[in-house]
């Protein structure tokens, strides 16, 4: 039985208004929301003064590395890092070893997820082994509660196969998510293609490699009529393509990663492989366009693309190093910064980090299947499952890689001052983070 707790003195971020309210949680549910609310005498009191209280964050894009990559991250360490980032639910990407491409591996990761403090959902692979040759058994994975399918790490290069995947997805009522990069165009490029890559002597990975596949996927989704989610869009032109498609009625959502909102290709001038990621860091013009699109609703969600790597995968020449960077523990502060810092709209912050991603991953309602997750991204009302996040707007922590909960250390934000911090995280009714400390 979960404990009783009360969040005192915070500002609750509802879907359409802010309110100075306390929130009472009993047995996993929100049982009271109001001013100076009465709580049971044994309820744990958590201070939320000078904080926003909203629905727990939901990450659509977490690499947990288990099975097969446990030296970089495990389901347990990744879930702990997520809870410290304010997340009550995450979606684990299927590019593990073996890939999450059948019911057995789905069940394995879901079982490990249930041992953590938060809800761990799983994205299934679209193709067997994520090899891009034949469709994975999507139906058996969907039967376990998988609602999102992707070969993330790579896009599906074969357009005919992608069309068939979308047709199956439509029939199953699930979402196709794509990592948009045309490998023939991206080649072995390791940073954004342009005059800077030429000057640095690094092979470029063009914006077009992404945009061509975004355009293709939008056209296929329009033809097939399936729900499409585009992962980690990194260019202004990609967003324009999404906006145009949406006007034509295409059922598309799109996410952006914190690093594409905060960092630019200029960091690659250091040849520090912490800044290598696919799709690559782009130009300031792209960063500006992505920030505008996130604020105006053209982009739906911030998703971390949290990608832990062991040191030996990063301590290599830039061209040979593994792409990817950590993101879970800093996503809130970076999202706030991207949305304007002190002037960022709290309602929009919780839309892009919680409510929209919960809707996209179909996590807004309880699921009793093996996935067995509670409901996320709610309005913070009586009767909701208690998945909550309390963020301190005045805190200014400095990122110290040695203090991360993630098993890996490949953060690009070392030494950076964060625009706020997560104070408490409530998941499934339990306080899994109190005063910035993980409780399990």
Question: Binding to Zn ion by residue 210, rule CB under 5 A?
Answer: no
Minimum distance of Zn ion from residue 179's CB (angstroms): 4
Distance CA 65, CA 407 (A): 11
Phi, psi of 26 (to 5 degrees): -135, 130
Size of the site for Zn ion (CB under 5 A): 2
Question: Binding to Zn ion by residue 193, rule CB under 5 A?
Answer: no
- The neighbouring-strand residues paired with 433 are 425, 438
Instruction: Name which of 73 and 392 has its Cβ closer to Zn ion.
Output: 73
Minimum distance of Zn ion from residue 93's CB (angstroms): 7
Question: Binding to Zn ion by residue 63, rule CB under 5 A?
Answer: no
Minimum distance of Zn ion from residue 350's CB (angstroms): 24
Minimum distance of Zn ion from residue 152's CB (angstroms): 4
- Asked whether the beta carbons of 209 and 282 are under 8 A apart, the reply is no
Minimum distance of Zn ion from residue 72's CB (angstroms): 16
Question: Binding to Zn ion by residue 291, rule CB under 5 A?
Answer: no
Active site (annotated) includes residue 158: no
Instruction: Name which of 92 and 393 has its Cβ closer to Zn ion.
Output: 92
Distance CA 102, CA 204 (A): 35
Tell me which of 152, 193, 210, 392 binds Zn ion, using CB under 5 A: 152
Phi, psi of 95 (to 5 degrees): -85, 55
CB atoms within 10 A of CB 284: 10
Instruction: Name which of 152 and 351 has its Cβ closer to Zn ion.
Output: 152
Instruction: Name which of 232 and 428 has its Cβ closer to Zn ion.
Output: 232
Instruction: Name which of 150 and 265 has its Cβ closer to Zn ion.
Output: 150
Reduce the secondary structure of the chain to three states and give it as a string.
CCCCEEEECCEEECCCCEEECEEEEECCEEEEEECCCCCCCCCEEEECCCEEEEECEEEEEECCCCCCCCCCCCHHHHHHHHHHCCEEEEEECCCCCCCCCCHHHHHHHHHHHHCCCCEEEECECCEHHHCCCCECCHHHHHCCCCCEECCCCCCCCCHHHHHHHHHHHHHHCCEEEECCCCHHHHCCCCEECCHHHHHHCCCEECHHHHHHHHHHHHHHHHHHCCEEEECCCCCHHHHHHHHHHHHCCCCEEEEECHHHHHCCHHHHHHCCHHHCCCCCCCCHHHHHHHHHHHHHCCCCEECCCECCCCHHHHCCCCCCCCCCECCHHHHHHHHHHHCCHHHCCHHHHHHHHHHHHHHHCCCCCCCCCCCCCCCCCCCCCCCCECCEEEEECCCCCECCHHHCCCCCCCCCCCCCECCCEEEEEEECCEEEEECCEECC
- The neighbouring-strand residues paired with 220 are none
Question: Binding to Zn ion by residue 276, rule CB under 5 A?
Answer: no
Instruction: Name which of 117 and 412 has its Cβ closer to Zn ion.
Output: 412
Minimum distance of Zn ion from residue 155's CB (angstroms): 8
Question: Binding to Zn ion by residue 384, rule CB under 5 A?
Answer: no
Tell me which of 14, 63, 179, 216 binds Zn ion, using CB under 5 A: 179
Question: Binding to Zn ion by residue 255, rule CB under 5 A?
Answer: no
Which residue stretch of 131-139, 177-185, 213-221, 349-357 sits at the interface with Zn ion (rule: CB under 5 A)?
177-185
Instruction: Name which of 181 and 430 has its Cβ closer to Zn ion.
Output: 181
Map residues 95-134 to x or -, x wherever contact with Zn ion holds by CB under 5 A: ----------------------------------------
Question: Binding to Zn ion by residue 182, rule CB under 5 A?
Answer: no
Which residue stretch of 82-90, 147-155, 335-343, 370-378 sits at the interface with Zn ion (rule: CB under 5 A)?
147-155
Minimum distance of Zn ion from residue 186's CB (angstroms): 12
Question: Binding to Zn ion by residue 8, rule CB under 5 A?
Answer: no
Minimum distance of Zn ion from residue 183's CB (angstroms): 13
Distance CA 7, CA 46 (A): 5
Which residue stretch of 149-157, 239-247, 357-365, 366-374 sits at the interface with Zn ion (rule: CB under 5 A)?
149-157
| Number of residue whose CB is nearest Zn ion | 179
Which residue stretch of 127-135, 172-180, 332-340, 360-368 sits at the interface with Zn ion (rule: CB under 5 A)?
172-180
Catalytic option among 119, 300, 305, 430? 305
Question: Binding to Zn ion by residue 59, rule CB under 5 A?
Answer: no
Which residue stretch of 75-83, 98-106, 152-160, 348-356 sits at the interface with Zn ion (rule: CB under 5 A)?
152-160
Question: Binding to Zn ion by residue 259, rule CB under 5 A?
Answer: no
Q: Which residues are catalytic?
A: 305
Q: Provide the binding-site residues for Zn ion, judged by CB under 5 A.
A: 152, 179
């Amino acid at each position: 039985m979960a404990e009783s707790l009360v969040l005192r003195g915070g500002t609750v971020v509802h879907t359409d208004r802010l309110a100075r309210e306390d929130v009472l949680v009993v047995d996993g549910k929100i049982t009271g929301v109001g001013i100076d609310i009465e709580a049971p005498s044994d309820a744990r009191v958590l201070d939320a003064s000078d904080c926003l209280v909203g629905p727990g964050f939901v990450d659509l894009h977490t690499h947990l590395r288990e099975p097969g990559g446990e030296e970089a991250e495990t389901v347990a360490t990744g879930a702990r890092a997520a809870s410290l980032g304010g997340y009550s639910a995450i979606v684990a990407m299927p590019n593990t070893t073996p890939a999450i491409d059948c019911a057995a591996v789905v069940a394995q990761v879901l079982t490990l997820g249930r041992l953590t403090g938060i809800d761990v959902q799983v994205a299934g692979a679209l193709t067997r082994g994520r090899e891009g040759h034949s469709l994975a058994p999507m139906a058996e994975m969907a039967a376990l509660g998988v609602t999102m399918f992707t070969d993330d790490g790579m896009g599906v290069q074969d357009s005919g196969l992608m069309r068939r995947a979308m047709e199956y997805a439509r029939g199953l009522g699930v979402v196709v998510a794509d990592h948009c990069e045309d490998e023939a165009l991206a080649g072995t490029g390791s940073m954004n293609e342009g005059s800077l890559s030429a000057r640095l002597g690094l092979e470029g990975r063009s914006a077009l490699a992404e945009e061509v596949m975004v355009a293709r996927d939008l056209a296929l989704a329009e033809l097939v009529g399936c729900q499409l989610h585009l992962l980690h869009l990194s260019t202004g032109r990609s967003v324009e393509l999404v906006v145009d498609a949406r006007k034509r009625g295409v059922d598309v959502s799109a996410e952006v990663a914190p690093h594409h909102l905060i960092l630019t290709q200029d960091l690659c001038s250091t040849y520090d492989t912490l800044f290598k990621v696919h799709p690559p860091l782009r130009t300031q013009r792209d960063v500006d366009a992505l920030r505008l699109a996130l604020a105006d609703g053209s982009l739906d969600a911030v998703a971390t693309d949290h990608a832990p790597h062991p040191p030996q995968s990063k301590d290599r020449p830039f061209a040979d190093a593994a792409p990817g960077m950590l993101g879970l523990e800093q996503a809130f502060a970076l999202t706030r910064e991207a949305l304007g810092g002190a002037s960022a709209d709290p309602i929009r912050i919780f839309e892009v980090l919680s409510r929209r991603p919960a809707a996209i991953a179909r996590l807004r309602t309880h699921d009793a299947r093996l996935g067995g997750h509670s409901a996320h991204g709610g309005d913070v009302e009586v009767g909701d499952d208690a998945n909550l996040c309390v963020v301190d707007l005045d805190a200014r922590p400095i990122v110290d890689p040695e203090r991360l909960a993630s098993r890996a250390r490949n953060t690009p934000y070392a030494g950076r001052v964060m625009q706020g911090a997560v104070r408490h995280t409530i998941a499934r009714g339990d306080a899994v983070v109190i005063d910035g400390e993980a409780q399990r």
